[in-house]
Chain A
Amino acid sequence: MVKEIKKVDLGARILASESEEYQTGSWRKEIPVVKDKEEMNKHVEIALYCPEAAIVYVGGKYSHIDYKFCKGCGICANYLKKVIEMKRV
């Protein structure tokens, strides 16, 4: 749900943190499922491939996929075909 805004800044800019209110997880038709966590640790760059920054690494180790924001675009599964699989919701 979009919160009603009461203040708009110069050029309609917002703090990056405000965009967290737009949870895009509900757009998803397919969900990425990680099959091998160890393998994910070898591919930290996958975090940068995700347009929603929903693949979370903590201290260089794979932690989880944030399904509140994952749109199910499948870019990660396409890049790491053997590690991530897209499943119908």
Chain B
Amino acid sequence: MRALINGNYAVSYAMMQINPDVCASYPITPQTQIIETFSKYVADGKVTTENILAESEHSAMSACIGASAAGARVFTATASQGLAYMIEVIYIAAGLRLPMTMVVGNRGIGAPLLLHCDYSDSFLARDSGWIQIYCKDVQEVYDTTLMAVKITEETKIPVMVMMDGFYTTHGEQVIDTLSTKQAVNFVGKKPKWPNMLDSKITFGNVSLTDSNIEVRERQWRDLANSSKSILGIQKGFEKFSKRNYGLYESYGLKDANTVFVTMGSSYQAIELTCQELRKKGKKVGCLRPRVYRPFPYNELRAELKGKKIIVLDRAISHGAEFGPMGLEFQGMGREFYNVVYGIGGRDFGLEEAKDLVGKFLKGKQKKFQFYGLRKDLKN
């Protein structure tokens, strides 16, 4: 079916089709619409989900952990300060290897108080042991939400699906949805995993100096290997939807001299700019990491070999030489530059993309810089 829909509604629609066992959540801008719409589905009897409206994000995630440990298919959503409040239990969900799906509408973390998009919230959970997938548009968010359920149940690693706050959460777009029958068939019956109720298992045990590092190594190894499951599930999805997703998306990489790397919705502006410049004979390309954890280091290193790369960062690592994405890519390519842009939702559209790409094609640039700072604002 074709539908004009925004990112938030697409997520709750996908979850309505799947009818998960438990949803425990707390509303926060820009993700509120997900909880709102999903709760309406519950109230209208469209789903039989146990909908827990928690008193905080910490409690919401804790309820998700308990439900998943009891063998339930679990879904939640959060953003920004909510994710920060949740962070302790986010680590626990991953450490206990409990399947669950969480959608994040990316919004920066205060102070100063802000509402708009940057990745400082989900980057906070970067090292927690979750699979992290960043989407560029509403179609991808819809598809990835469905795939996430399958990925998390196959890998026993919780999956976080990210979309840009307001750009994608509230931006409306025409998308192709699956029929509920198709969605249910694809996601499949919930597999049985060892749980508290049926298998008499104790979760949350102490693991001290005699075993902790081994448990962690296994967690690290399984996350690194999860890209195989992700690719397999994406292939299965492509078969009937005809929409294909990789660990990353790229344009013109093969013969490009200069490659712009960016995440989320701003990739669209960069890609359009590159396509235009290609027509003028400029050998430019662009790349968008989609799966950020596990990060496809080997593949990207091979793709970017000998190229000049400019990595755009919508987050800051205070005190570091580069931004978080820059740190991933440093050492790749022949020449490396890192640009921090769009912090706190400072707009980065086609105009800005053209300006930035033009700058780097024209002349010498600093290795690290902030893009788009106002000159008329004394600071």
Which residues of A come within 8 Å of B, CB atoms?
4-5, 8, 10-19
Contact = CB atoms under 8 A, between A and B. Distances in A.
Contact of B202 (A5, A8, A10, A15): A15
B96 interface: yes
Nearest to A11: B97
B201 A10 contact: no
A12 B156 contact: no
Contacts of B194: 13
Given A8-B214, A12-B205, 4 more contacts: A4-B210, A5-B210, A15-B199, A16-B202
Nearest to B215: A12
B200 interface: yes
Contacts of A11: 95-98, 203, 215, 219
A5 B211 contact: yes
27 contacts: A4-B210, A8-B211, A8-B215, A10-B156, A11-B95, A11-B96, A11-B97, A11-B98, A11-B203, A11-B215, A11-B219, A12-B95, A12-B205, A12-B211, A12-B215, A13-B96, A13-B201, A13-B202, A13-B205, A14-B202, A15-B200, A15-B201, A16-B201, A16-B202, A17-B200, A18-B202, A19-B202
Most buried by A among B201, B207, B210: B201
Given A10-B156, A11-B97, A11-B98, A16 B200 contact: yes
The 10 closest A-B pairs by CB, nearest first: A11-B97, A12-B207, A11-B96, A16-B200, A10-B97, A16-B202, A12-B215, A12-B205, A8-B211, A13-B201
B218 interface: yes
Nearest to B219: A11
Contacts of B219: 11
Contacts of A4: 210
Nearest to B222: A10
A12 B205 CA distance: 6
A60 to B, nearest CB: 22
A18 B201 CA distance: 9
